[in-house]
Structure 1
Amino acid sequence: MNSVIGDVLPLALGVAISVVPIIAAILMLLSPKAKVTSVGFLLGWIVGIVVAVTAFTLLSSVVPTDSSSGSSPVVGTIQLVLGLLLLVVAVRQWKSRPKAGETPKLPKWMKAIDNVTFFSAFGLAFLLSAVNPKNLLLAVSAGVSIGTAGLDAGSTVIVIVIFVVIAASTVAVPVIAYLIAPTKLRAPLDKMREWLAHENALIMALLMLVIGVNLIGKGIGSF
């Protein structure tokens, strides 16, 4: 189980470092309906991650392996494809990084964040966590690692819980902290939003590069 946890930790970190959901959560925390929308967003974020990684874990658990050698061409092929796709994401993130003095472009729907309700915040977060292409690739990668490891049900649940806790932490921490001390966190949250908008593309490019290369290596080793 420990080796599987080691495999999914960087994948969970990749989900956690996602600029759009983090900034969306921060904007909700700075909006008039902060407590309602931020909680809905957090719940949707967690549920989306759980659904995605659990679904791909269950699908991967039926992938055939060679019992004599432990190799699995199917798993290897999946990991190679996912690794290559993550390298593509890394290149796109690198190219999208803002130049010196340039203001990062954020989704237009963020301008309407003050009008978001609990349920729309929940649905938005669910889509960002479970359907967003980058997060979906990472969820598939985590599901493949967990589902093909041959773990018992209890160990599988533990690994998924660890993955979800880490992946959801960057949204959960500011939301929970704001609910505890809203007044003190307004200025720090605004500074965090600005920093993430400027630096996230570079961080994500490097992270996707490392994870992609790692998956390609694992894929080659599975043949």
Structure 2
Amino acid sequence: METVLISLLPYIIGSAVVPLQIIIGLLLLKSPNQGLFKAIAYVVGMTIARLFQGLVFGFVLSGSSALTADSGKNPIVSTLLLVLGILLLITAYKKWRREEDPDDLPPKGFTMIGSLTPLRAFGFGLGLPLLAAKLWVFTLSALATIAAAQLGWLSSTIVYLLFVLLAESLLLLPILLRIVIPERSKHLLAKLSAWLTQNSRPVTIMVSLIFGLFFLQSGITGLLG
């Protein structure tokens, strides 16, 4: 199990540092009315979406004959890594050229985040992992890696739940800070939200470029090795 968790680290980190989902969570959290409840509802929605993906695609991938642990080659994992690397490099290029990314919110979207009700924040969180292509491929790559390890149903479920928890760690941490130190955290989270919103473009370029090259190399190596 420990070996599989180490193999999942790139997907965990890649999923966790997606700037868009963090910015949305912080904007909801600093909302003047029910900010904490909105942020929690948002994360709960994302969690349910990922659990649904795990239930459906974990079952499909676990029965795939293409995941051959004996040979050490996993063409599904390698193909997903290749696709993910290409998607991330395209994202870096589009951000560099200031072109529109289909996974991004329109500019007006950020202004309306704070006005969402907790129910709509839940729906927002539910839809984001199901609509964002890069989040899809991160999750599918993790599921394919878990399926290829052939851990058994219980261990695979535990590993995937850990993946979900760690992938959402940067969303859960601000919520935890808001609960434990509510007054002190307000100023810190407001500054972090403002910085991320202002610097989302260079952060996205850097993250997409680093992970894009890594996943592209891993996918090509897996397919040709």
In the superposition, the TM-score normalised over structure 1's length comes to 0.82
Q: Which moved more, 1:45-54 or 1:31-40?
A: 45-54
| Correspondences of 1:183-202 after superposition (within 5 Å) | 183-202=183-202
Secondary structure of the residue that 2:168 maps to in structure 1? helix
Q: Note if contact 1:90-1:206 (Cα within 8 Å) is conserved in structure 2.
A: yes
| Correspondences of 1:170-185 after superposition (within 5 Å) | 170-185=170-185
Q: Note if contact 1:8-1:142 (Cα within 8 Å) is conserved in structure 2.
A: yes
State the one-letter code of the partner of 2:222: G
Partner residue, 2:124 = 124
Distance change >3 Å, CA 8–CA 74, structure 1 → 2: closer
State the one-letter code of the partner of 2:73: S
Deviation of 1:121 after TM superposition, in Å, equals 0.6
Query: Structure 2: how far apart are the matches of 1:29 and 1:68?
Result: 47
Query: Structure 1: how far apart are the matches of 2:69 and 2:139?
Result: 26
Partner residue, 1:85 = 87
Query: Structure 2: how far apart are the matches of 1:222 and 1:77?
Result: 7
Is 1:55 the counterpart of 2:56? The answer is: yes
Partner residue, 1:15 = 15
Query: Structure 2: how far apart are the matches of 1:74 and 1:12?
Result: 18
Which whole-Å deviations, capped at 9, do the CAs of 1:172-220 have from their partners, x for residues lacking one? 1111221233222221111101221233333333333343333334433
Unaligned runs of 5+ in 1: 98-104
Query: Structure 2: how far apart are the matches of 1:17 and 1:67?
Result: 30
Distance change >3 Å, CA 78–CA 28, structure 1 → 2: closer
State the one-letter code of the partner of 1:3: T
Distance change >3 Å, CA 216–CA 64, structure 1 → 2: farther
Deviation of 1:111 after TM superposition, in Å, equals 1.9
Number of positions where the alignment pairs a residue of Structure 1 with one of Structure 2: 216
Q: Note if contact 2:76-2:144 (Cα within 8 Å) is conserved in structure 1.
A: no
Distance change >3 Å, CA 18–CA 193, structure 1 → 2: same
Over 6 Å off, 4+ runs: none
Which whole-Å deviations, capped at 9, do the CAs of 1:68-103 have from their partners, x for residues lacking one? 634344443343333322322333344449xxxxxx
Q: Note if contact 1:53-1:142 (Cα within 8 Å) is conserved in structure 2.
A: no
Unaligned runs of 5+ in 2: 100-104
Partner residue, 1:42 = 43
In the superposition, the TM-score normalised over structure 2's length comes to 0.81
Q: CA RMSD in A?
A: 2.6
Deviation of 1:160 after TM superposition, in Å, equals 0.9
Q: Note if contact 1:36-1:117 (Cα within 8 Å) is conserved in structure 2.
A: no
Aligned-residue identity in percent: 27
